[in-house]
Structure 1
Amino acid sequence: MESYVRLNNKLAATITILLLLATMGTVNCRGEPEETAEIQIATVERGDLVVTVTADGNLVMPREVKLKFGTPGTVKEAYVEEGQKVKAGALLAKLDDTAQQLALKSAQYNVELALNELVEKIHPALMGYPGLYPDTSAALRVEQAQEELRKAEEFLKQSQYLEAAAELRLAQHDLEASYKIFNVPQIQKSLYSSADFLGTLVAPIENYPDVSRAIERLEQDIDRLAEIQRQLGQGDYQQAQAELAVAQDKLQQTYQLVKSLSGRIRVSQRIGECCWQLMSQGYAVDAATGLMPVPYPDTSTALDWLRQVEQSLQEIQACKQSDSCDALEMSTLLRMAQHGIDMSQDILSNNELIFRSGVNLKALRAYNLNIQLAENELRNAKEELMKTEILAPFDGTVVDVGVKENDQLSAFDYSAKTAIHLVDTSTVKMDGMVDEIDIFNIKEGQEAIITIDAMPEQEFTGKVTFISPFGTQLAGVVEFPITISLDPSEIELKGGLTATADIIVEKHENVLLIPNRAIKGSPGDYWVEVVIDEETLATEKRPVELGAQNEDFTEVLSGLSEGEKVLID
C-alpha cells in the first residue's frame, strides 16, 4: 500500500523535520572522539492524508470494432483510409446494392398487389380511380418514413448515432420510393395540358396541382434528410437533432398531401343510380374529381358496438327486475343502447356497398393478412439493403481498411473478412492487478491517479469501474484483476502502454500528522516522545490515539497539539 500527503500550510509535500546534531565532547580512553549522534525532531502539523493502493497493468481501448458487411457482394467503394477520424453514423464502405434494390422493388410490388386485392373484388363499375392516380403504396412509404424519423430522433436523444443514421437512410429510401411512384412519365404528362384558342398557343394549364405539389414536397424532404445525414457524418449532432424536428413537421404535411392523392377507394359520379343512393346516405361528391370516397369494411368495429348493445340490453333487463331501478336510470340505459345501435348501423351501412360486391368478413381478413405479410417482406428487404452499407458505430479512428473497390465477397468469407477496423482512441481504460491483501479496500467508483512508464512526468485521473470476483494465482501470489476508466485527456494515448495506478481508498483532510517513525509502543498502547526543551533535548512520554495511516505518516486523533515537536528514531 502506497500513499502521499499534502500539507495545507506548506509548499512541500512532507512535514518539516528539524535536524539537531548533538556532538558529544568526551573522548574515549584512547583519546579518540566518539561518533556523532544524529537526533531528528519533527513538528506536528496539519495536512491531508491520502491512503492509496497500487495497481500495475496496461492501457486498453475497449471501444474497438472490426466491421464486416452483412451480405456477400462486390465492394462498390471504401470511403475512408487508415488514420482517418470519423464521426458516429458516417458511411465507411458500401457494396453494389443492385440486387437488394431489385428485391426492395419486388417487395414493394407485393405490397401494392396486396393493397389492390380488395379493390379488385369490387365491381369495376363502382370504381372511380383515375387511370393515372398514384398507387396506394405511395402514402404507405411516407408513413413508414415518418416512423423511421421518429426512431432516429429517439436514438439521437440517447446518443446512439449509428442507429439514428441507419433509420435516416431507411427513411430516405422510403421517400425516394414514394417519389418514384409519383414522378413517372404517365403522371407527368397528365399534369399539364395546353389550350389553343383561335390558333394561339397559351401557357400550359395545370390539371392536378396537388400532385405537382406532392412531387415538389417529396423532393424537399429527400434533400432535407440528406443534409441531416451530412451533419451526422460531421459530428454536428445538436444541429442534426434540431433539423430532424423540423423535418418531421414538414414530412407530416407531405404525408397528409400524399395520402389525399393515393390509396383511396372512390365511387364515380358517372355510375348513376348507385351514386344517388350513396348521396342519400350522406356521401359528398369531390368537386375537383367528381368522386366520392368509400371506406374500407370495418365489420370488427360494428360487432364491438353490437356487443355493447347486447350488454346494455342485459343491464336494462336487470334494472327492470330490480326494485331500486328508477325511471331516470332506465332512461339512461335505453339511450346508451340506442346510441350503440345507431353507431353499429352507421358502420354497417357504410360497408354495405362493398359487401354486396362480394367481399365478406373472411375474405377481408385474408386480404388484411396478405397486406401484413407483404409489409413484413418489405421491411426485411429494407434491412437487407442496409446490410450493403457499413456505418461508423461511434466516433473513432480508422486503423485498417481491409477491402477496396471491386473486391468480391463470397457467401463463404463475407462474414469473416474485416472491412473496416475502427478504434475509439478517446475512450481509454487500464486493466490492472491488485494484491489480495488490498483487494477489500478497493471499491467501484474510487478515484485513481495513473502514471505511464513512457510518460513518467504526466499524471492522468480515472475511476475504478470493475473489480473481478475471482483472483488469479501466479508464483504463489494471488492477485485480482480490476479495470480503471481514464478521464478524457487532450493527450492521445495508445493501447498496450504499461501503467501504474494509485487508487485512493481513504482521504482525510486537515488532520494532525506525525511521521510513522515517531510512534512507539504497540496496538492499544501507542506513545511518542514529546520534546519539551530543544536545547537539552528533554522529552516526556505521552500516550496518543492514532487514526488512519499510510507508509509515511499517521493521523493523530488525540494526545498532541499542532506545533508540538516529537523525536524520530
Structure 2
Amino acid sequence: MKTERKEWTRQLIVLISTIFIMAFALVSCQPSESKPATNPLQLAQGKAGSYIVGIEARGNLSFPNQQKLYFSTFGTIKEICVKEGASVNEGQLLARLDNTTQRLAVDSAQFDVSKAKNAMQKRVCPTTGRTIYEFLNAPSVLDTLEAMQVELEKASASVANKEYDEASSELSLARDDLERAKGILLESYIQIYSYGLSQDTLIQLSLDLEKARIALERTKEELRKTELYAHFDGIVTDIPVKEGDVISAVNYNTVPIVHIIDSSVLEMEGFIDEMDRPRVNIDDKAVITVDALPDLELTSKVSFVSEVGTIHSGLAYYKVTISVEPPFSHELKHGMGATARIFPEGKP
C-alpha cells in the first residue's frame, strides 16, 4: 500500500513538472510587445534601412517682427490712414495728429531764420539798385531752399540706411519748404541798405542767425512727432484708437496707436529637455506640424538654442527657436500650437 502511494506521488510530481515546463516554454516563445516611446527621441526610418533620429520640440508659432507704435507727443488724432488687416509698406504714413500748431511754429521759425539771414546780408553785402538776380535770390527764398536741400540730403541718407520712416518725414518737410519758398518768392521784395559793419555787430548777427536755425530744427522735430510711419512691410493687426481721440500729455507714450506684424518671417518657439540639448545645434534641419493644420508640414531649421535651462520637476528644459523657410501658407497664425521634429544627424 505504501509502495503504491509513493508511486502515485512520484507520477503526480512528474506530471506537474511537465506542465510547468511546457507553460514556461510557451510563454518564452511568444513575441515581445514593443512599448510606446515616451521619450521625445523618435526613430524615423530612412532609405536603405538607415535611421535618422528626430528630436521632438513642442511650442507655438510666432511672427517675431511685430511692433506697437506710439505717438511721441500729445494731441488729437486727426487722421488714421490705414485699416485693420491692411498691408503696409515700410515708410508708409499710418496716422497723424492735428499738427496745425506745429506747422505754424515751423512757419514762424522759418520766418525768423529768413529775417536773421536777411539782416546779415543787408549789412554784409550792401549794394544799390535792384535787379532780377537780386529778386530771385531773396534771402528768405534762399534760406528756405537751403533747408529743403538739407532735408533732401537727410532723406537720401535715411533711404541708404533703410530708415524709411525718417526719410518720409524729411521728404514731407522738404515739400513744405518748397511750397513756402514759392509763396515767399511771389511776395518777396528786396530792400538793401548800405551801413557800416563792426566786428561786434557781425558776431551778434551770426548768433541771431544760429539761434533762429536751432529754433527751426526744434519746431520741425515737434512736427515729426505728430506723424507715425511703418518701420517695415507688414500687416496691421490692431488699431485700438479712432480719429478724434485725445492723446494726453500724461499717457501719449503708453497708448498704442497701430500694431503691425511682419508676416514674411515665421518662427516656432518651443523647448527641448536636457537629454536632447547636447545634440541640437544651430542650422539643424527640422519639420514642423501645426495642430490646427495637421496635413501641413513646414520645412524649417534651428535658429537659436538657449544656453540656460528652465528647471521643472528637477529636469532642465531649454528654449529653442526654429525658423520656417518661406513661402508658407497665409492660414498660419501667431500663437498656433505646433510640434517640431529636429534632425541633428541629417536631412529628414
TM bin, normalised by shorter chain, reads 0.7 to 0.9
Checking the alignment, whether the CA contact within 8 Å between 1:49 and 1:507 is kept in structure 2 is no
1:480 aligns with 2:318: yes
Q: 1:50 to 1:102 in 2, by over 3 A?
A: same
Q: For residue 444 of structure 1, what is the aligned residue in structure 2?
A: 282
**Equivalence map 1:161-240=2 (5 Å):** 161-184=164-187
Which moves more between the two structures, 474-483 or 114-123?
Answer: 114-123
Q: For residue 395 of structure 1, what is the aligned residue in structure 2?
A: 233
CA positional deviation for 1:38? 7.0
Q: For residue 5 of structure 2, what is the aligned residue in structure 1?
A: none
Q: For residue 8 of structure 2, what is the aligned residue in structure 1?
A: none
Q: Deviations over 1:199-258 (max 9, x none)?
A: xxxxxxxxxxxxxxxxxxxxxxxxxxxxxxxxxxxxxxxxxxxxxxxxxxxxxxxxxxxx
Q: Deviations over 1:477-528 (max 9, x none)?
A: 211112222222341221111112222322289xxxxxxxxxxxxxxxxxxx
Checking the alignment, whether the CA contact within 8 Å between 1:48 and 1:507 is kept in structure 2 is no
SS at match of 2:345: strand
Q: TM-score, normalised by structure 1?
A: 0.49
- Alpha-carbon separation, structure 2, partners of 1:508 and 1:442: 14
- Alpha-carbon separation, structure 2, partners of 1:65 and 1:445: 27
- Alpha-carbon separation, structure 2, partners of 1:410 and 1:127: 54
Q: TM-score, normalised by structure 2?
A: 0.76
Q: For residue 333 of structure 2, what is the aligned residue in structure 1?
A: 494
Aligned length: 310
CA positional deviation for 1:114? 2.3
Aligned-pair identity (%) = 37
Structure exhibiting the larger radius of gyration computed from Cα positions: 1
Checking the alignment, whether the CA contact within 8 Å between 1:425 and 1:494 is kept in structure 2 is no
1:507 aligns with 2:346: yes
SS at match of 1:482: strand
- Alpha-carbon separation, structure 1, partners of 2:50 and 2:106: 68
Q: 1:499 to 1:80 in 2, by over 3 A?
A: same
Q: Deviations over 1:276-325 (max 9, x none)?
A: xxxxxxxxxxxxxxxxxxxxxxxxxxxxxxxxxxxxxxxxxxxxxxxxxx
Unaligned runs of 5+ in 1: 1-28, 40-44, 188-261, 268-353, 510-569
Q: 1:147 to 1:502 in 2, by over 3 A?
A: farther
- Alpha-carbon separation, structure 2, partners of 1:84 and 1:123: 56
Q: 1:508 to 1:176 in 2, by over 3 A?
A: closer
What's the RMSD between the two structures over aligned residues? 3.4
Which moves more between the two structures, 142-151 or 74-83?
Answer: 142-151
CA positional deviation for 1:365? 4.2
- Alpha-carbon separation, structure 1, partners of 2:165 and 2:171: 10
Q: For residue 72 of structure 1, what is the aligned residue in structure 2?
A: 74
Checking the alignment, whether the CA contact within 8 Å between 1:123 and 1:357 is kept in structure 2 is no
Checking the alignment, whether the CA contact within 8 Å between 1:48 and 1:508 is kept in structure 2 is no
Code of the residue aligned with 1:175 in structure 2: it is: L
CA positional deviation for 1:72? 1.6
- Alpha-carbon separation, structure 1, partners of 2:197 and 2:122: 10
- Alpha-carbon separation, structure 1, partners of 2:64 and 2:185: 48
Checking the alignment, whether the CA contact within 8 Å between 2:84 and 2:239 is kept in structure 1 is yes
1:423 aligns with 2:258: no
Code of the residue aligned with 1:496 in structure 2: it is: G
Q: For residue 368 of structure 1, what is the aligned residue in structure 2?
A: 206
Unaligned runs of 5+ in 2: 1-17, 33-46
Checking the alignment, whether the CA contact within 8 Å between 1:450 and 1:459 is kept in structure 2 is yes
Q: For residue 115 of structure 2, what is the aligned residue in structure 1?
A: 113
